[in-house]
Structure formats: C-alpha cells, structure tokens
C-alpha cells in the first residue's frame, strides 16, 4: 500500500474537525447548563462526551492543526472526567505498535489476559470478566472495570516513582477543574444525571473497542473493519475503519471511508477479511455472547 495519493498533506484548515469541536462543546454546554428536561439533557451529554473522546484521539494523531500543543489545548477540558489526556495519548501511541497488538503486557488497550494470571483469579472474578466479554457486559460493567484497572495501575506506578505519569495526572487537575467550575457555576443537571450520562458515554465507546483487535499470529490480521456509516461511525469519527486507521494513523477521520472504498480489497486481504458489515451485525452476534475468551488463546509463556 505505497500509493501516496491517499496520504497527501492535510489542508491548512481542517474545517470538519473544527466544526465538530465547536458542536461538541456547544452541545455539552447547553445540555449541562440549559435547563433542559433530563430526557434530552442526558442523551446530549452522553453523545458529546463520546464525541469529545474521539476528538481527543484525532488530536493525539495530529489534528486539526500541525501543532501538537494547540491540539492538546483544544481538547483539554476533561468532559469524560476520569482519564488525563496525556495518559490517553501515551498509552494509545504505545498501542499503535502493531506487532504488539493484543499483548496482555505490551498493548495498553488489550482486552486479553495472560492465561497464567487468569488461572489465579477467583471464580467470582472470572465470571465477571466472562460477562464483560459479551457486548452487553462490556457496555454495562466494562467502563467501571476498565477505569478501575487503569487508575489503579497509574496510582501504583506513581507510588513507585513514575514522574511522567504523575505529571500527566497533575496536568489533569486544571482540565478537570474547568468542567467542575462550569457545572458549579452554570450547571442545571443533577450530579447523578451528569454522572449517568458520562458513564453512558464510556459505554458507547466500549462498542468501538469491543472487537477492534483479535488474537492472530500475523499482526496485520488482528485489526477489524466495521463498514458502518451511521451515528456510531460519526461518534467514533470513522475509527470503525480501524485497519485503515492503523495502516495510516495520520490520515484525518473524514478521509478514512473514501480511502477504504478506493482500496477495499487490499485492506481486506491485509487484515485477513476481519470485517463486519455494520454495528447492527456486531450487536446481533455478540450482545449476549462472548466473542473471545478472556485468556489470550495464543499466548506463550515468556
């Protein structure tokens, strides 16, 4: 895939991303402070929080500007509360080492576990994690499990003297303070409703990450393509064309569908035809059924 035509430089002004930034903050602001009925405010906060996370993903890959610091400032308000942007940036860029995808230790976004660690878990925890491997479970308890593991891991690293991680959590304080200030000064939503909506945003994000990567010997066959063009694809900023994104991580979100359409056969040959026609198909197949085991099926002892 060496054709450079799809990798031409981004325009100086990436108006689709700028427009979504404005729309996201405006929607979140109106939903939290506009005295809207909760049946409307909660979904709007959920959708804007989900979209903001996707915009953070665009920012760390170099959009909408050529200046990384400016991109970081543009997405700095912590609308999803729990994860510092810098930690998301660093762990996600580590995840982009494709040869390590699904590695329980070297891929920070892996959903698999070392079989030896799995065997040491209590039967209760094993049941919870098996439930978490259905799409319903991933949406219901997945955010709590994932955030708990992430935060606990970071706190342990800080306690052991990891200054880089500590720095990102300290930078998270003003990013979170902006959100808290807005809610305290202008917010009309009850705190429980805001918390529920934010958690629901994390739940929607779990739909995207549920089957992005599978356990395969060849690294190029581990990454999925979901040929969806609906609301979820917009909320995920076309990251459902995930194999295309991993092949060209610097291509902005609004170019991914056309890039895939132009070279569909090549991408499907490369990723071993790991493909779903839509998220509706994913829901039909895996809402109550686990797609993968929790322990990595191909893991070899180190």
- pLDDT tens-digit profile of 97-150? 999 999 999 999 999 999 999 999 999 999 999 999 999 999 999 999 999 999
Whether residue 7 has pLDDT greater than 70: no
Whether residue 302 has pLDDT greater than 50: no
| 294 within a domain of the structure (yes/no) | no
Distance between CA 270 and CA 247 in Å, rounded?
Answer: 10
Share the mean pLDDT of the chain: 95
Q: Please give the residue range of the domain that contains residue 98.
A: 12-286
| 3 within a domain of the structure (yes/no) | no
The domain tally of the chain equals: 1
Backbone angles phi, psi at 10, to 5 degrees: -65, 150
Alpha helices in 96-241 (DSSP H): 115-120, 123-132, 135-140, 142-159, 163-186, 191-209, 231-235
Distance between CA 132 and CA 126 in Å, rounded?
Answer: 10
| 299 within a domain of the structure (yes/no) | no
pTM confidence score: 0.94
Please, which residues bridge with residue 273 across strands? Answer: none
| Closest among 211, 230, 236 to 287, alpha carbons compared | 211
Burial 137-160 (b: 16+ CB within 10 A, else e): bbbebbbebbbeebeeebeeebee
145, two tokens: 């499990």
The SS3 assignment for 218 reads coil
| 292 within a domain of the structure (yes/no) | no
């Amino acid at each position: 895939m060496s054709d450079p035509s799809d990798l031409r430089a981004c325009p100086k002004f990436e108006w689709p991303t700028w427009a979504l930034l404005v729309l996201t903050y405006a929607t979140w602001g109106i939903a939290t402070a506009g005295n809207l009925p909760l049946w409307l405010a909660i979904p709007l906060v959920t959708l804007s929080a989900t979209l903001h996370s996707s915009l953070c993903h665009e920012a760390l890959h170099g959009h909408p500007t050529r200046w990384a610091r400016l991109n970081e400032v543009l997405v700095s308000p912590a609308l999803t509360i729990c994860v510092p942007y810098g930690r998301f940036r660093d762990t996600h860029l580590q995840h982009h080492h494709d040869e390590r995808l699904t590695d329980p230790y070297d891929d920070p976004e892996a959903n698999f576990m070392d079989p030896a660690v799995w065997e040491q878990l209590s039967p209760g925890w094993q049941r919870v994690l098996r439930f978490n491997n259905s799409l319903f479970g991933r949406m219901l308890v997945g955010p709590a499990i994932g955030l708990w593991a992430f935060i606990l891991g970071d706190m342990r690293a800080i306690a052991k003297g990891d200054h880089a991680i500590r720095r990102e959590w300290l930078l998270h304080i003003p990013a979170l303070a902006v959100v808290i200030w807005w809610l305290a000064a202008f917010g009309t939503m009850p705190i429980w409703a805001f918390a529920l909506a934010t958690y629901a945003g994390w739940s929607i994000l779990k739909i995207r990450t549920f089957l992005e990567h599978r356990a395969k010997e060849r690294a190029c066959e581990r990454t999925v393509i979901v040929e969806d063009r609906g609301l979820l694809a917009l909320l995920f900023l076309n990251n459902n064309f995930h194999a295309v994104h991993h092949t060209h991580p610097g291509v902005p979100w609004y170019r991914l569908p056309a890039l895939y359409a132009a070279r569909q056969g090549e991408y499907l040959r490369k990723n071993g035809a790991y493909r779903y026609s839509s998220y509706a198909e994913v829901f039909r197949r895996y809402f109550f059924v686990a797609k993968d085991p929790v322990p990595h099926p191909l893991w070899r002892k180190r």
